[in-house]
Amino acid sequence: MKTLTLSLISIGLVLSLGACSNKATVSYGDAQEVETTDLSFGSTDLQTIATEMTDSLLQSVAVNELTRDGRPVMYVERIKNKTSEHIDTESITDSVSTKLLRSGKFRFVDMSRVQDVSKQLEFQNEGGLVDPSKAVQFGKQTGAEYMLYGNLSSIVKSNKDKSDVYYKFTMRLMDLESGIVEWADETEIRKTKEKQGWSW
């Protein structure tokens, strides 16, 4: 019986030590550092295209004309993903919107929150719980004057020696009243990975 008990204790100690040795350490890295883990669309790509496009838009002659006498109201449509990858294009849209808002040249309407806003207005105006003189009224919201929209596409090529992925990000700014595209630009990213042969 003692032998069995000692064996069980020994096994328990070995398992405990094994579990302790398998613990991973977590550390903070630089969010702006170039990410080169693989060819997939990553954080560096997101930061690059968001910065390049917002800089191009804000420095354009068209936008300088549009924002000369005020801050136009803009709606940013979610970027369309036309690649073969699963890419969170909402993150790209958010980065572009945030950079433009920080510029102080535009105001924004957030179409992703329309249903939530409608529910809140219904609660204030029809729920009977909010003082009518303090309730936000229906029909008072400001409509967007311009829409910013874009596409992210890619071409992937691979052979026995090398893999290559090419990303193209295109954006346009449209005047919603006239339908005229006031600005358009695109930026490109190419990533290449050399395949390693056997080493002896």
pLDDT over 70, % of the chain: 79
Return d(Cα 100, Cα 105) in angstroms, integer.
Answer: 7
Domain segments of the chain as ranges: 40-109+146-194, 112-143
Amino acid 183: pLDDT: 96
DSSP state of 134: T
pLDDT bucket at 5, cuts 50 / 70 / 90: low
Protein fold of 40-109+146-194: Rossmann fold (3.40.50)
Are the C-beta atoms of 168 and 158 separated by less than 8 Å? no
- Strand intervals (E) in the chain: 73-76, 80-82, 107-108, 146-158, 162-175, 181-194
Q: What percent of the chain has pLDDT over 90?
A: 36
Minimal CA–CA distance to 109: which of 136, 141, 65, 68? 141
As a whole number of angstroms, the distance between CA 184 and CA 80 comes to 16
